[in-house]
Amino acid sequence: MTRAGDGGTQEDADHRIPVALSSASVYPLAVHDAFAVAADLGYDGVEVMVTNNHDSQNPDALKTLRERYQQPVVAVHAPTLLLTQQVWGKAWNKIVMSAAMAAELEASTVVVHPPFRWQSGYAEDFAAGIRGIMDDYGVTIAVENMYPWRVRGREAAAYLPHWDPRPLGYEHIAWDFSHAASAGVDSYEEIRLIGDRLRHVHLADGFGGGWDDHLVPGHGGQRCAESLQHLAGAGWGGVVVAEVSTRRAKGVGEREELLGETLDFARRHLGHSNFELSDN
């Protein structure tokens, strides 16, 4: 990761890191609503979380939304969550289908979770398998940091080989601030250690304690501002994606207020030269 002012160029220093919106941020609304909200608030694109929602699985429907709202699809989040185990069949098919859709939508990144321990075959061959799929489809597959599961106060080994991708041999990593809070780690320090392998960021916040909060950044205990400032100063080439929970919002206005605050926070601390507070 090149640092501006330390061997970097002025172009690095002036680089504008895009800020996109995850469709998970409008749950339980549909992916159509994510595009509409992103356009209304002035985000730079959308990350599509593939779910049971038909449009999230349909590249033609997503192309229509992309053109209607002038919001590019910057990433596809593969359906590798427990809640999406029935989407797109077996584990490897989920990754292949996600990569194929990302390539068709000109989205450069696919975000995946580490394998669950019970996914035999898939888990053991995961690192090599995703390298092959990246080569086949010309997209980046970034493995997201998770957090330890706890059962009756004790840590349970849910992921293989681990919930933390940083010490492992993955070429690309996606970093989630809320997951970091749940794991009890400092995102600022971890991002600095990941270095050039960091490809993608899910911006949120949290307090941990066993909860995956996905709070608006600045409302939890993570050093979100310092982390974004570090990425901006380093001339980082990835995308920051707002992935905050708005499921308790009482209406569209409150949801947009939370997501507008998240966008303002990101742009302020990324040092966008044309930063303006949103009207929402």
Burial class of residue 119 in the structure, from the number of CB atoms within 10 Å of its CB (0-12 exposed, 13-18 middle, 19+ buried): middle
pLDDT for 274 equals 55
For residue 272, what are the CA distances in angstroms to 15, 51, 202, 205, 241? Answer: 9, 32, 18, 21, 15
| Residue 239 to residue 100: CA distance in whole angstroms | 20
Spatial contact of 75 and 50, defined as CB atoms under 8 Å apart: no
Helix axes 187-194, 224-233, angle to 10 degrees: 20
- The residue written with tokens 């694109």 in the block is 45
User: In this predicted model, which residue has the larger pLDDT, 152 or 93?
Assistant: 93
Percent of the chain exceeding pLDDT 70 equals 88
pLDDT at 14: 53
Give the list of residues 6+ apart from residue 112 with CB closer than 8 angstroms, or none.
77, 78, 80, 95, 98, 130, 141, 142, 143, 144
Asked whether the predicted pLDDT for residue 271 surpasses 70, the reply is yes
Given this model, what pLDDT does residue 279 score?
A: 41
Could you tell me the pLDDT band of residue 245, with boundaries at 50, 70 and 90? very high
Distance in angstroms (rounded) separating the CA atoms of residues 73 and 106 = 7
Report which of residues 197 and 118 the model is more confident about. 197
User: What's the pLDDT at 9?
Assistant: 44
- State the average pLDDT over residues 122-133: 91
Average confidence score pLDDT of the chain: 88
Q: What is the band of 210 on the pLDDT scale with cuts at 50, 70, 90?
A: low
- Which tens digits make up the pLDDT trace of 10-59? 444 457 999 999 999 999 999 999 999 999 999 999 999 999 999 999 99
Kindly provide the residue ranges of all beta strands, DSSP E only, lying in 56-208, ordered along the sequence.
Answer: 73-77, 109-112, 140-144, 149-151, 154-156, 173-176, 198-203
Could you tell me the pLDDT band of residue 112, with boundaries at 50, 70 and 90?
very high
86 CB burial (10 A radius; 0-12, 13-18, 19+): exposed
Name the DSSP class of 143: E
- Give the model confidence (pLDDT) of 135-165 as tens digits: 999 999 999 998 886 655 666 677 778 788 8
Q: How does pLDDT run across 50-61, given as a tens digit for each residue?
A: 999 999 999 999
pLDDT of residue 273: 65
3-state secondary structure of 150: strand
Q: Which long-range contacts (CB under 8 A, 24 or more apart) does 53-61 make?
A: 55/30, 55/31, 56/23, 56/30, 56/31, 57/87, 57/88, 57/101, 59/101, 59/104, 59/105
Rounded CA-CA distance 263/189 in Å is 23
143: tokens are 């493995």
Q: What is the pTM of this model?
A: 0.89
- pLDDT value at residue 208: 75
Q: What is the mean pLDDT of residues 217-240?
A: 96
Which domains does the chain possess? 10-146+155-270 (3.20.20.150)
Query: Residue 5 — pLDDT band, cuts 50, 70, 90?
Result: very low
Residues 6+ apart with CB under 8 A from 126: 114, 115
**How far is the C-alpha of 100 from the C-alpha of 162, rounded, in Å?**
27
- Nearest-angstrom CA–CA distance, 182 and 176: 10
Residue with tokens 């398998």: 129
